[in-house]
Structure 1
Amino acid sequence: MKKLTILLLIGLSTTATAFAQQTNPVTDAGSPVADLPLSASRAEILLPVLFISFLLVILTSLIKYFLDFRLKNKLIERGMQEQLTAYLSAKNEHEKQNEVVKLSILFLGLGLGLLLTYFTAPVDLHSLAIMAMSLGLSYLAYFLYLRKTDR
């Protein structure tokens, strides 16, 4: 978890450093950045940060799956007890199913949030509130799903 936090902080600071520009509307009146509305400048900062954090999450998930696969193979090669390997594999099957359901609910919420944002144009601060609300409701739906399946 600490490594993921460090990777996210490095990615966010790299993005912020790469896109950090200070423009003065008086001296840079003809520049394309000075002519953009405030929401466009927010998008220039927010979208690269979100994109890099999304890539880091995908990368860490792939590394986790790869390391879990290697661990299972080593347990099988060393001839560990069959009960232990059966327990680990059964637990992972249940976790994989929950992971798939979680991602599908989150992407459904993300899609609905983007659809609502599209219909409530212009894109501004309220669009971020809509996206946050839709993702929050997605996590709530996932929580309710987990509570229902644990019974």
Structure 2
Amino acid sequence: MKQLIRVLTALATPLTVQAQTTTPYIDRDLFAVCVTIVGGGFVLLFILEVIKRLFDFLLKRKALELGLQQAPTTSQPNYTSPIKWFAIWIGLGIGLTIIYYTFPLGIHSLAIMSFCLAASFLSYFIFLKQSANK
């Protein structure tokens, strides 16, 4: 239920924008880059979820074929997921900030975004290594 409320809020956010002359101009190219990045992220998350569910199904089916009483469960509570999303959003924010100050938009904008996201995933990986050592 909470997820549904978050999605509806995110979808309703553009409806609150008003076209007035006192609001600052939003560059169409920058908006297109942001929408492309967010849309691509949603597509990749969807593909990842489909693959995860497919492998869970195959694992349960194999367990039933082997005659196990109970199929092994792969879902464990993931307490590091908020840290992962924090790292991803920080990487996106830093990348978009750098892109904003390096106009005009071009292929270098995608390179900047790629490096910032890679750095955020690297920081998350280092965090996981540090937390596993404790």
TM-score normalised to structure 1 length: 0.45
Which of 109, 112, 131 aligns to 2:94? It is 112
Letter in 2 for 1:56: V
Change (3 A) 1:139 1:53: same
Task: Report the equivalent of 2:21.
Answer: none
Runs of 4+ in 1 over 2 A off after TM superposition: 46-56, 60-70, 96-100
Task: Report the equivalent of 1:130.
Answer: 112
Change (3 A) 1:63 1:132: closer
Matches within 5 A, 1:1-151: 53-63=40-50, 80=70, 92-93=76-77, 96-151=78-133
Aligned residues: 98
Which residues of structure 1 form unaligned runs of 5+? Answer: 1-39, 71-78
Distance 2:83 2:51 in 1: 18
**3-state SS, counterpart of residue 100 of structure 2:** helix
Is 97-106 or 59-68 further displaced after alignment?
Answer: 59-68
Distance 2:128 2:46 in 1: 25
* Cα shift at 1:104: 1.9
Change (3 A) 1:52 1:105: closer
Change (3 A) 1:109 1:52: closer
**3-state SS, counterpart of residue 103 of structure 2:** coil
Which residues of structure 2 form unaligned runs of 5+? Answer: 1-28, 58-68
Which of the two has greater helix per residue? 1
Change (3 A) 1:47 1:108: closer
Task: Report the equivalent of 1:23.
Answer: none
Change (3 A) 1:132 1:67: closer
Change (3 A) 1:125 1:80: closer
Distance 1:129 1:115 in 2: 13
CA RMSD of aligned residues (A): 3.8
